[in-house]
Amino acid sequence: MKGVVNQPLYEVVRKLYEEIVAGFVGEDLHSEVFLASFPYSFINEECKERQKRIIVAGLRPEFRQEAQKSIELCYADSAGGDLEFYLSKAVEDFLNYIIPRTAGLVNCDEIFDRYYFQFDSSIYGKSCLVTVFAIIRDLWDHSGVTVLPPGFRVSWLSPAFGRVDVPFTRERAVPFFEIRKAAHPIGRGRDLGKESSYFILQHSAMLPKQRGLITAAYALSDDIVKKFVLAARLQPFQR
């Protein structure tokens, strides 16, 4: 793929993607049941061969130093694994992200490459892509006329209530299922898993890969959400 730093790893991950999608025999790749079933364990004790392929390609001598730096920064809040484990985990997370967003779509290759470029640059480049998601309540933009700065986006996430066979509905449905499955109330917080739709703020930014990356990502999240809520109170959003 043109533009990626580590071409051998791209070829390995691409092949794993094709193998895994082909393995969903009998599944309707466009059904909500299938899309809501993620994540899966694709790389585990029973998949040593997959892990070996990832490690050999991902930690080639010319790429190892940058990969090690990225893993140490991105998994600074994790413990119990080594470089090989976390690199394999990163690939597994990417596969769990990209498969439900692309499997069965006519332009799956195009979407895969677009997201993989970001994955590759975050590991082997000098900066890391960080995306903030915030669920917003008591605000909406049904007219779609809200103008936000570059890197910002507001959108509705909801199930498609049928076949999810075009990119537009995938972009709305897959994140909806991810949030519904992962959301858990903290303390006296509300149970987001019971919501029928989500209105979200999304902001993406490239952060330099340096010490404190995780802390900087959390700080970015807090800062963006606070500023958005303040701006929303001052702007003529529909309430």
What integer pLDDT is reported at residue 239 of this predicted model?
A: 46
Share of the chain above pLDDT 90, in %: 67
H or E element, residue 231:
helix 213-234
pLDDT at 147: 72
Higher pLDDT, 125 or 184: 125
Kindly list the domain boundaries of the chain, sorted by start residue: 1-125
pLDDT per residue as tens digits for the range 109-132: 999 999 999 999 999 999 999 998
Please tell me the pTM assigned to this model: 0.90
Preceding peptide of 185 cis, ω within 30°: no
User: 156: closest CA among 129, 204, 194, 196?
Assistant: 196
